[in-house]
Amino acid sequence: MAREGEAGFSLIEALVALAILAVAAISLLTATEAHVARIAGLESRALAQIAAENRLAELELGLVGDDMVTLLGHRFVIDVTRGGTADPEVERIDVAVTDMARAETFRGVFGFLASPAGGTGSGEAQ
């Protein structure tokens, strides 16, 4: 039979073990929070990409879309920039998307469209 002072763990040993477990638990929670934040950012970027591609498709079809769209509960503001190219009959379209919740702008997509009226901007046939 064990003597009185030798049975089980002492209070100090139990406290040291609890401190080690607490530090390990905090490290695990920190890593989990970082992972969740990365996943949320990935979701926002994927939805922003979809919003940008949708806007480019709308422009190709000649449709006018809203500057603010909602996808899966995320609100995005879409900014379309038109620019020239070496060919006056073709214009470059750049679409950037801003996630309203995160205040983060994603460079979306770019494409090329035929300029109206051959790039003259007057709308008259030549």
Which tens digits make up the pLDDT trace of 8-54? 788 899 999 999 999 999 999 999 999 998 887 888 899 999 999 99
Q: How far is CA 102 from CA 12, 40, 77, 80, in A?
A: 47, 10, 12, 20
Alpha carbon distance 40, 38 (integer Å): 5
In a domain, 56, yes or no: yes
Which domain range does residue 100 map to? 8-119
pTM over 0.85: no
Q: Which two tokens stand for residue 18?
A: 């609890």
Which tens digits make up the pLDDT trace of 41-99? 888 899 999 999 999 999 999 898 889 999 999 999 999 999 989 999 999 999 999 99
In a domain, 59, yes or no: yes
User: Of 97, 89, 95, 88, whose CA–CA distance to 111 is shortest?
Assistant: 95
In a domain, 62, yes or no: yes
